[in-house]
Amino acid sequence: LGLQMVCDPLLKEKSFGIAEGGRVEDVKEMAKAAGESFPDFTPPEGESQEQVKERVKMFLEKMLQQIGAEHWVTKSQTVDSLSVSPPSSPVEGRADDGVKDIPLHALVVTHGAYMCVAVRYFVKEL
């Protein structure tokens, strides 16, 4: 099938520091004791939401650069020549049409807390 699997450490799960491997209830109690809400709480020695978001952004940039280098730009093309005109109707075209008729798909698999931060970034900041 010509599929390539790439493992990237930028997709690793959020570090929960001293709470790593513990119960969610315990982390919620730690957050309450610190006077913080659970989703925003960073356990000691853990990774903050902002740190995870920076990894999400770095991964996306890295992935898109790799896709661009491998699929979109040939020696005879420049990045400027890859501009795509929007379809004349929102119902024209298909998701798998790709850019310049190059079908391209990426499946990204990661962990729960990382994915929550990534989805929040997609929805609120992109």
Tell me which of 95 and 120 has the higher pLDDT.
120
**Mean local confidence (pLDDT), 22-41:** 94
Asked if residue 13 has pLDDT above 90, the reply is: yes
**Mean local confidence (pLDDT), 44-49:** 96
**Mean local confidence (pLDDT), 64-73:** 77
**pLDDT averaged over every residue in the chain:** 82
Tell if the pTM clears 0.75, that is, is over it.
no
Share of the chain above pLDDT 90, in %: 57
Ordered by where they begin, the domains of the chain are 9-74+98-125 (3.40.50.1240)
| Orientation of helix 49-67 relative to helix 112-125, angle to 10° | 80
| Surface-to-core class of residue 47, CB atoms within 10 Å of its CB (0-12 exposed, 13-18 middle, 19+ buried) | buried
